[in-house]
Structure 1
Amino acid sequence: MHEPSRCRIRLVAFDVDGVILPIRSSWGYIHERAGTTRESELNYRLFMEGKIGYWEWMFLDTLAWIEAMPGITRWDLEELFSSVPINRDAYEAVRILREAGIESALVSGGVDVVVSRVARELGIKYWVSPALAFDPWGRLVPGGEPRLEADRKDRAVLSLARKLGYSMREVAFVGDSRWDLRGMREACLAIAVNPHDNHVVEEADYVAEDLLDAAYFILEHSYTWKRNG
């Protein structure tokens, strides 16, 4: 737990899967559509047991998609995600934060194809996620670039804050799962939305009903540090 009275929020880092999107995992969503859930479960177990690294996990997952859907392209993936709506309250939450002078960013372990779309539709300039790899014809190739490792969101938050010139006392993190814990611990305010992990609930400064509730909580504490300083 943090001390909200010591925070003056200027930047909010949002997780995407399960927070801004209704699906818990964009990787899992592709596996479900491709019929490769069994491969997904095996790859997850190998990673969690420390037998493979994050890049190898990306490689095996994307290889499974290619084998199940030969010739799949970036545009196929964009079409696949086109039916996944952005949670309606996300638009309003980002808008009211922006009007208060608070920057929003996306820090996601999700598929960059959908994370980039979320950023574009919400008008969010800064985002980071693992990047899939495509050949010159737009066809998916195995592997990718782990610009963000799902369990190390703290590094992404620190890097983003440094880039924008903010201290971590000016950063809030909004997440829902165990993959968000390190990012939540690093930020000055940690808010859980739709949490599905007891550890997230225990470590959050606030468990919000939805993104709008989370935004209002952030606004409530954004200038406390200034008033008390």
Structure 2
Amino acid sequence: MSEAGESHTISDRRSARLPRLRLAVFDLDGTLKEPFSPWRYLHQALGVEEQAAVYRARFFRREIDYLEWARLDAALWKGIPLAEVQGIFRRSPYRLGVRALFSVLGRHQVLTAIISTGLDVQARQVAVDLGVWRTVTNELTVHNGLLTGEVVVHVTEHTKGEVMARLRAEADARPTECLAVGDGTADLALFAQAGLAVAVCPRDSSVAQAADLVVEDGDLLAIVPLLEQSFCLAQT
């Protein structure tokens, strides 16, 4: 057998031992998009950040829980046209390499999902842009094209792991067959269910410590070489 043939055989054997990458789960804000909080991003754009800061302080003093904080924040947007909010989120920049990474994942038939404490308005846009399979976020209610000031909370800082478990079951993916990418402590629950964990510009040292790869410069294209080392990627 030629050297080239032997090399190909060894490569095939190595690939056979690696798990297939079936599901890639991403946080959204601070991970795929640069602003780390869509709530604060929207508050600033709509000129209500001063009042929102009061609610934020109450939450971190543990005077209110997450559900109440979300309810108070959403109430600040009552009567705002949905189209205006959509336009604001359209201007929120993606991190470097996001589109290229999703192109690679799509080419290898990897299901992609977003689990975020952020807002459905932005997540739907991202899903269309990137071809995301599932998004689970918090839902702003709309009537006659206007925000009602209400929010349906589907994800909190403490429930991302539960959501990922449901998506893994739907995708028939074992933890070893998953990639998880995030930036905050809430994403540690995603990392715990993934064969490969990536921290993007982590906002806490515990996130960096739990990750297999830390992307300090925010360019998600850096993930691709590690995918090829860690998983057997489906051939197209």
When normalised by structure 1's length, the TM-score is 0.85
1 CA distance for matches of 2:51 and 2:101? 37
CA contact (8 A) 2:96 2:221 kept: no
Question: Could you tell me which of 105, 108, 111 is aligned with 1:100?
Answer: 108
Q: Is 1:56 aligned with 2:56?
A: no
SS at 2:97 equivalent: helix
Question: Could you tell me which of 135, 148, 151 is aligned with 1:144?
Answer: 151
Could you say which structure has the larger radius of gyration? 2
- Pair 219,47 (structure 1): closer, same or farther in 2 beyond 3 Å: farther
2 CA distance for matches of 1:177 and 1:183? 10
SS at 1:21 equivalent: coil
Equivalent in the alignment of 2:34: 22
- Pair 147,93 (structure 1): closer, same or farther in 2 beyond 3 Å: same
2 CA distance for matches of 1:92 and 1:133? 33
1 CA distance for matches of 2:83 and 2:69? 23
CA contact (8 A) 1:7 1:189 kept: no
Equivalent in the alignment of 2:123: 115
Which is further off, 112-121 or 173-182? 173-182
- Deviations 1:125-162 (CA, angstroms, capped at 9, x unpaired): 21111111112x02112221111113321111111111
2 CA distance for matches of 1:49 and 1:187? 32
1 CA distance for matches of 2:186 and 2:51? 20
Equivalent in the alignment of 2:179: 172
- Deviations 1:192-227 (CA, angstroms, capped at 9, x unpaired): 112222111111111135211123312320139xxx
Runs of 4+ in 1 over 6 A off after TM superposition: none
Aligned residues: 215
2 CA distance for matches of 1:162 and 1:204? 23
1 CA distance for matches of 2:224 and 2:141? 34
Equivalent in the alignment of 1:217: 226
SS at 1:109 equivalent: strand
Gaps of 5+ in 1: 225-229
Q: CA deviation at 1:30?
A: 0.7
Equivalent in the alignment of 2:48: 36
- Pair 222,37 (structure 1): closer, same or farther in 2 beyond 3 Å: same
Q: CA deviation at 1:40?
A: 2.5
CA contact (8 A) 2:199 2:211 kept: yes
CA contact (8 A) 1:93 1:215 kept: yes
Equivalent in the alignment of 1:154: 161
Gaps of 5+ in 2: 1-16
Equivalent in the alignment of 1:227: none
Q: CA deviation at 1:88?
A: 4.4
